[in-house]
């Protein structure tokens, strides 16, 4: 491990000066944690915006769906558009409905099963979009403090080596080296705390949105089940 000279006791202990005088291992730790922090905030902002848009899209779709408009008319409106949330689930179910009747569906149970599978797949894809990159927040929240602690341990070991070499244990001499090492832990906490808070908040929001979409999927499945009984069962 490389030895570095002790910082000048009279030097100003600014964050930049502590970073510059740190060993290259500690610098790499700090830079990595800062990059993780920046990416964490980018994910947080992106998710807050996308979740707000999703909730707005759900509200709009529910308003249109329960307005009394026919399912065929609503499907024609949404079929060629890029849909999300309940709209994507609705389009997937209606597409399977139309394909099955075009091929002459005869089994009510088989048709219901295929429609439910189509809605489940659409719901899974929507949830993957909602929960994408949340794993990074969880990883950052759990790992960043330990990575920062690793940088601190390396920095303190380097400082102690320099202290032994200079044979000077004055607090004024020791303080700058220790401060350099502790800066890594501080940056680790700076990255971890927002990540943990945001992960819990965003996971809760995603679960609430998922519950709304699952509820719609169940309701729409019941509606289609009644339609299937009317159209397919008499022909069975």
Take residue 210 and report the two structure tokens written for it: 């998922």
Average pLDDT, the chain: 85
Give the pLDDT of residue 9: 45
- Of 8 and 136, which is predicted with more confidence? 136
CA–CA gap between residue 120 and residue 150 (Å, rounded)? 44
Is the pLDDT confidence value at 59 over 90?
yes
pLDDT cut 90: percent of the chain above it: 55
Query: CB–CB of 177/7 below 8 Å?
Result: yes
Give the pLDDT of residue 15: 76
Name the nearest CA neighbour of 32 among 137, 135, 141, 148: 148
Using CB atoms within 10 A of its CB, is residue 114 exposed (0-12), middle (13-18) or buried (19+)? middle
Mean pLDDT for 87-112 is 83
Take residue 47 and report the two structure tokens written for it: 């998710």
- What is the pLDDT confidence band of residue 7, given thresholds at 50, 70 and 90? very low
Measured CA to CA in angstroms, residue 7 lies from 44, 69, 219 at distances of: 38, 75, 69
CA–CA gap between residue 236 and residue 231 (Å, rounded)? 10
Backbone angles phi, psi at 134, to 5 degrees: -70, -30
Query: CB–CB of 25/152 below 8 Å?
Result: no
Name the nearest CA neighbour of 202 among 35, 60, 40, 83: 40
Mean pLDDT for 159-182 is 72
Query: CB–CB of 92/121 below 8 Å?
Result: yes
Is the pLDDT confidence value at 194 over 70?
yes
Poorest-pLDDT segment among 32-36, 44-48, 165-169, 228-232: 165-169
CA–CA gap between residue 162 and residue 151 (Å, rounded)? 17
CA–CA gap between residue 31 and residue 109 (Å, rounded)? 58
Residue 7 in 3-state DSSP?
Answer: coil
Domain spans in the chain, listed from the N-terminal domain onward: 23-235
Using CB atoms within 10 A of its CB, is residue 41 exposed (0-12), middle (13-18) or buried (19+)? middle
Query: CB–CB of 114/95 below 8 Å?
Result: no
CA–CA gap between residue 46 and residue 179 (Å, rounded)? 35
Mean pLDDT for 25-30 is 90
């Amino acid at each position: 491990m490389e030895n570095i000279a002790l910082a000048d006791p009279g030097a100003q202990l600014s964050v930049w000066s502590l970073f510059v005088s740190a060993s290259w291992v500690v610098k790499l730790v700090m830079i990595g944690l800062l990059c993780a922090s920046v990416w964490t905030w980018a994910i947080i902002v992106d998710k807050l915006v996308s979740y707000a848009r999703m909730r707005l899209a759900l509200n709009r779709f529910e308003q249109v769906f329960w307005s009394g408009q026919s399912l065929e008319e609503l499907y024609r409106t949404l079929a060629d558009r890029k849909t999300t949330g309940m709209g994507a689930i609705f389009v997937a179910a209606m597409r399977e409905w139309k394909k099955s009747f075009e091929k002459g569906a005869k089994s009510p149970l088989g048709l219901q099963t295929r429609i439910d599978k189509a809605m489940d797949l659409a719901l899974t894809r929507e949830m993957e979009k909602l929960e994408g990159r949340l794993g990074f927040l969880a990883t950052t929240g759990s790992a960043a403090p330990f990575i920062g602690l690793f940088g601190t341990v390396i920095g303190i070991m380097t400082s102690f080596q320099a202290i032994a070499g200079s044979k000077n244990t004055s607090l004024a001499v020791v303080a700058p080296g220790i401060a350099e090492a502790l800066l890594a832990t501080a940056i680790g906490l700076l990255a971890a705390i927002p990540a943990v808070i945001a992960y819990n908040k965003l996971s809760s929001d995603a679960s609430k949105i998922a519950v709304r979409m699952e509820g719609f999927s169940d309701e729409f499945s019941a509606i289609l089940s009644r339609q299937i009984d009317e159209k397919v069962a008499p022909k069975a």
